[in-house]
Amino acid sequence: MCGIIGYTGKNDAKEIMLDALELLEYRGYDSAGIALLGEEGTRIYKRAGRVKDLRDLCAKEDPKGCCGIGHTRWATHGGVCDENAHPHRFGRITLIHNGIIENYRELTEKYGLEGKLASETDSEVVAAVLERFYDGDPYSAIRRTVLKLKGTFALAILFDDQPGKIFAVRNVSPIVAAATKDGAILSSDVAAIVPFTTDYFVMPEFHVVCLSADGIEMFDLSGDKAQIDWLKVDWDVSRSSKGGYPFFMEKEIMEQPQVIEETILPRIKDGKPDFSEEGIPDQILSDCKRICVIACGTAMHAGLVGKSLIQAMIGIHVDVVMASEFMYNDPIVDKETLVIAISQSGETIDTLEALKFARKCGSPSISIVNVKGASIARASEYVIYTNAGPEIAVASTKAYTTQLAVLYLITARMAMARGLWSEQELADYVKELSRVPRVMEEVLSQKEEIHRLAGTILNAKDVFMIGRGLDYSILLEGSLKLKEVSYIHSEAYASGELKHGTIALITEDTPVVAVVTQDKLKSKELSNIREVQSRGARVLLLIKENEVLEDDERFANVFRLPVMADAFMVMPASVVLQFIAYFVSLDKGLDVDKPRNLAKVVTVE
């Protein structure tokens, strides 16, 4: 979704902003624009299309200036056109905005703006209200405007008569800021800051920040100076480049052994899972009567695997709730419900809102987040960071498997805290978990074989993915991956449900991907596979390498997975499914990293 950048200092702001907007492209967008505040006043360049189109537009005039704001827009209010692209200007005010102003119609009416606005956006209305309140004091204008706004916003603002200064304020939608060698920078996203510095801070809500070549100042809404809490990014710039791969998605799939190791190893002490660094007391794991996982998309699929693990190994009830549906089902969460919020970005608005609701109900909470200091991390009682590094491809891969790694650790620590496992059982589990990176490497080394197998579904219109239990959970994620990057319609189906209707859709033109990794489910899963084969379906099977297939002539396309304990088979199987989706997209010639209409960070409901 929308990306924000602002730079002020001694260098050419235009180049800095255009480069940063390219780094923010992965968030998903349909238009881009910049505004420069320089000797020639405020100049705006914006257009619907890609950042490279904006670059071409700027190249024609080559405007100069050392202070500016830039934006990639993901349309919500108003169609995709040049006028609706940001920055927006009204009077002496120029701004960019992420979020949604819910009361923009009332504000339009109240301040008589009908017919005076150049765009259809809610954002331009904010510029008009700021202009109304601006009497030479930016802080007071911002304060008075913010008090009128309902909704979510991250605003970066230029005032014509405040040269070299960028002002910012936010509610819910994130802004991070940092001092550079010769000025200051702000962004919606740490990725745009990493090329300049590793020290940054997350702007607190309802605070006003002023960036200038001299540094950064922050005030609360009553005008008192506020202290900045600095954080450190723990990834380097090379993590944000493709590193020789054609797409980030491939690079990120390949990085999994390393990032899983980096997620697990620091949390195993004396051979035992350990969350003392995170300050998580055992009591929170031992006392809860049930668990409610809230998350969206891929993160929710990680939660489903967590549910299988925890219910099987700990014996307590786990609900996994789509965060976007959470509020509509009269959620039952209380002091005895441990809420686990899972999110790569840490900014998914539905997950954030659901988490806040659960906390109001008194639920203890742990979040599993990738981006340090993100809103969900700050809104939860405890946070466990996945050390996946920046995930740039829209389709989540390494974030998913590192989320799983954390869920494996939580399960083991919970078993310990409840005294459920013997020393030996715990040691065996930790040993198996520690094998995951090596086992994944084994799968990754067979990338070409997976590429060949992906070819068997390349031209399909529809694909079914079938399995039971944990295999079904893995396939929900595998199917989402295929849909989002290849645009092939794919459905993950619990194989036992097929006979209740959907089997009617299975024909010789519908490839079926089947995963069989759980001993206790194997015979049932294989008979379900026979049923679809009898209807002419070609089956691509993922099965453990030590399994003997009685009628193996039926299976032309089989991927043999390295053997792990059943509970861990999710890891090698997931890598294969990620690569299948990747290769289908690649061979279709699609933009693998930026699937159409999708945004990496979903900050609107």
Residue least distant from ligand F6R (Cβ): 297
Three-class secondary structure of residue 211 per DSSP: strand
Cβ 52 vs Cβ 18: under 8 Å: no
Element (H, E) at 441: helix 423-444
**Minimum CB–partner distance for residue 29 and ligand F6R (Å):** 15
Q: What minimum distance in Å lies between the beta carbon of 511 and ligand F6R?
A: 21
Phi, psi (rounded to 5 degrees) for 57: -60, -45
539 vs 573, beta carbon nearer ligand F6R:
573
Name the residue nearer to ligand F6R (CB basis): 133 or 385. 385
> Which residues, 6+ apart, have CB-to-CB distance to 236 below 8 Å?
194
251 is catalytic: no
Euclidean distance between CA atoms 296 and 294, whole angstroms:
7
Of the pair 162, 348, the CB lying nearest ligand F6R is at: 348
Radius of gyration for the chain, computed over Cα atoms and rounded to the nearest angstrom:
25
Closest CB 5 distance from ligand F6R, rounded Å: 20
Report the alpha-carbon distance of residue 368 to residue 374 in Å, rounded.
Answer: 11
Number of Cβ within 10 Å of residue 133's Cβ equals 18
Contact residues for ligand F6R, defined by CB under 6 A = 296-299, 343-345, 348, 351, 395-396, 480, 484, 602
d(CA 125, CA 109): 10
Structure tokens at 202: 């997350």
2 carries an active-site annotation? yes
Tokens representing 332 are: 């039952």
Question: How much of the chain is helix, strand and coil, in % rounded to 5?
Answer: 40, 25, 35
At a CB cut-off of 8 Å and minimum separation 6, what does 540 contact? 453, 456, 457, 511, 512, 513, 514, 557, 558, 559, 580
Contacting residues for 330 by C-beta, under 8 A, at least 6 apart? none
Q: Which position among 2, 66, 67, 288 bears the catalytic label?
A: 2
**Contact assessment for residue 327 and residue 301, using Cβ atoms and an 8 Å cutoff:** no
Q: How far is the CB of 393 from ligand F6R (least distance, A)?
A: 8
Write down the least CB distance from residue 344 to ligand F6R, Å: 3
Minimum CB distance to ligand F6R smaller for 68 or for 306? 306
Task: Give whichever of 294 and 503 is closer to ligand F6R, judged by the CB atom.
Answer: 294
- For ligand F6R, the closer of residues 314 and 592 by Cβ is 592
Strand ranges across the sheet with 199-202: 41-48, 31-38, 67-73, 3-8, 183-187, 176-180, 199-202, 231-232
Nearer to ligand F6R, 166 or 293 (CB): 293
| CB of residue 155 to ligand F6R, shortest distance in Å | 22
Q: Using an 8 Å Cβ cutoff, are 256 and 575 in contact?
A: yes
Type of residue numbered 143: R
Closest CB 396 distance from ligand F6R, rounded Å: 3
Q: Which is nearer to ligand F6R, 468 or 481 (CB)?
A: 481
Residue 476 CB, nearest distance to ligand F6R (Å)?
A: 11
Annotated catalytic residue within 148, 165, 594, 600: 600
Catalytic residues: 2, 600
